[in-house]
Amino acid sequence: MRILLKIADLLVVSNLYVAAGTYSLTWLTLQFYDYDRLELPFFVFFSTLFAYNFMRLVRVDPMLKEGDSMRHKNIYSYKYWLWLFTFISASLALFYFIKIYKPILYSVLFLGAISISYSLPIYKKEGVWLRLRDLPSVKIFLIAGVWATVTALLPMQVLKISIDWLKVLERFLFVFAITIPFDIRDLRFDADRLGTLPQVFGLNNARWIGLVALLVAEGLLFYNYFSSDIYSVFSVLAIYSSYEIAAILILKSHPGLPERYFTIGVEGTSILVAILFYLSIILW
């Protein structure tokens, strides 16, 4: 068991786990349209590896001052290997981007600008340089918006089909909901000026906001099922089951839970939805 936990921790620290989540959701969107080529999922995977590692590595020392968590210590311990990993990830992301860049070029440039301004200081307030994520109550919307764009909008652009904004909204709501537990986890470390949902509305109300977001996402899922022919009943039930598991994890979230509850459990719902969808295809 200890070996498995060590492997899981390595996957989390290296951001391979979160990259598997964006890969899974991107693959899932493409499956709705029976598109099996993997250039875009691989581009998303390596771009996520690069972006997340870069954002954390440039802040590794401040993060240690913010909180003495296992996550912060692990990032600091492996920071030199992670820099090498980040460079390799950037190279592979560029390789796959060249294969598919035309329909998604402007979207990727926009996402790149958001990612840079999210992690590096871009504006000055009262003599202090701040990042985009330092704007009150903005962080969760940035994360959900970027993930929805990457995993739902980009696949539609690659396929050169009309953008189905309801599917993009469904993805936004799902990611928004599973991001709330991370704000709950970070209640002990986040500065009051960040204005996260648990800080503004309280712990219990933040959970309920996440549950309502998932409920709306489920409503959009069933609407798309009845209004189009891209889902089978089993694939809908697979996605619905993932949303319900995410709802349970959100409902039980509190700051005192182990780090792995969030980094492996909650984060893993983005992978689980693709696994259950795949099983619905091969079994039924």
pLDDT digits (tens, 9 = 90+) for 108-132: 999 988 888 887 776 666 666 677 7
Is pLDDT at 68 greater than 60 in this prediction? no
The predicted structure's pLDDT at residue 3: 83
The 8 Å CB, 24+ separation contacts for 35-39 are 35/155, 35/158, 35/159, 39/96, 39/99, 39/100
Residue 123, phi then psi, degrees to nearest 5: -145, 155
pLDDT, one tens digit per residue, over 178-198 is 999 999 998 887 777 778 899
Start-end of H helices in the chain? 2-13, 16-31, 39-57, 60-66, 70-77, 79-119, 139-148, 154-159, 165-185, 197-201, 203-227, 233-251, 259-260, 269-283
The predicted structure's pLDDT at residue 72: 60
Task: List residues bridging with 7 in a β-sheet.
Answer: none
Whole-number Å distance between alpha carbons of 284 and 272: 18
Rounded to two decimals, what is the model's pTM?
0.91
The predicted structure's pLDDT at residue 6: 78
Report the alpha-carbon angle 153-159-165, nearest 5. Answer: 30
Residue 129, phi then psi, degrees to nearest 5: -80, 130
- Minimum mean pLDDT among 6-20, 28-42, 214-228, 266-280: which range? 6-20
The predicted structure's pLDDT at residue 64: 46
Specify the fold of 2-283: Farnesyl Diphosphate Synthase (1.10.600)
Task: List residues bridging with 276 in a β-sheet.
Answer: none
In the numeric block, the tokens 């954390």 are attached to 56
